[in-house]
Amino acid sequence: MKYVARVEDKMFAIEVQDGKVVVDGQVHAVDLRRIEPLITEERSRREVVASIERMRNAHLTPRSQGLISAIDVKSGLGGLRDIEFLVQGLQLLYAAEAGRRPEGHTLTALGALSEIGRLPAAVVDRLAEDYTFLRRIEHYLQILEDRQTHTLPQDPQELDALSKRMLGVGQDSNAFLATLDTCLTRVRDTYTRYLLEKK
């Protein structure tokens, strides 16, 4: 789970990995109870959104910025990172109000945001479905390519195989691309509405 904290007016990127804390790339063994006040402190919306947007923009790939015509289901607009950054940003905004440490697992965190009334249940259900759909695509791509990849294949036969794997044998790449486009648009719209507060 990644967090952003301010110490003496300096912003730090903090990530908790396997019980250790990584602060701006440096690994530290720290008692998490000592840093919990940093994680759960009240923050201004402007500060959190600006920090999340900086991190989100740093993760955009050239493909997702329209420089290459491949769809990236992880780092592209409306992809997995939009859901993850939305969830992390909302948790940072409302951790103090909720009185608990942010969740590290995206699907669990979505449920927690619904429980505290920060995301409607219908939005949470849809985001969970979209997140699972995008993860399934990502996993299939990595099996297909036998490497870390997040972009759809350019080869029509490979795209057709992916389409059938995701939607069923009776489906084709046109149906798959339309379903994926709807998903990516919906995720990006949700990110924009609930984190950036733009309609």
For residue 141, what is the domain's CATH number?
1.20.120.330
More confident residue, 58 or 133: 133
Q: Assess whether 50 and 114 both reside in one domain.
A: yes
Residue 61: predicted pLDDT: 59
**pLDDT at 94 (0 to 100):** 86
Give the mean model confidence (pLDDT) for residues 141-166. Answer: 85
The domain of 20 spans 1-41
Residue 78 predicted with pLDDT over 60: yes
What gap in Å lies between CA 189 and CA 187, rounded to an integer? 5
Q: What is the mean pLDDT of the chain?
A: 81
Burial of 23 (0-12, 13-18, 19+ CB in 10 A): middle
Q: Alpha helices, DSSP H only, in the chain?
A: 32-40, 45-59, 80-98, 106-115, 121-145, 156-167, 173-194
Number of domains in the chain: 2
DSSP state for residue 61 in the 8-state scheme: -
CA 110 remoteness from chain centre = 11
Are 176 and 101 within one domain? yes
| Angstrom distances, CA of residue 170 to CA of 83, 144, 163 | 29, 20, 9
Both 113 and 174 in one domain: the answer is yes
Same domain membership, residue 15 and residue 108: no
Task: Judge whether residue 74 has pLDDT over 60.
Answer: yes
Does any domain span residue 199? no
Give the pTM: 0.78
- pLDDT for 67 equals 41
More confident call, 98 vs 1: 98
Q: How far apart are CA 67 and CA 92, in angstroms?
A: 32
pLDDT of residue 33: 66
57 with 21, same domain: the answer is no
Sheet containing strand 26-28, strands side by side: 2-7, 10-17, 20-23, 26-28
Please give the pLDDT value at position 63: 43
pLDDT value at position 37?
64
The percentage of the chain sitting over the pLDDT mark of 70, rounded to a whole number, equals 71
Q: Is residue 188 part of a domain?
A: yes
Name the 3-class secondary structure at 98. helix
Q: What average pLDDT does range 99-107 have in this prediction?
A: 79
- Answer whether residue 68 shows pLDDT above 60: no
6 found inside a domain? yes
Which pLDDT band holds residue 150 (cuts at 50, 70, 90)? Answer: confident
- Which of 131, 95, 129 minimizes the C-alpha distance to 112? 95
Please report whether residue 88 resides in a domain.
yes
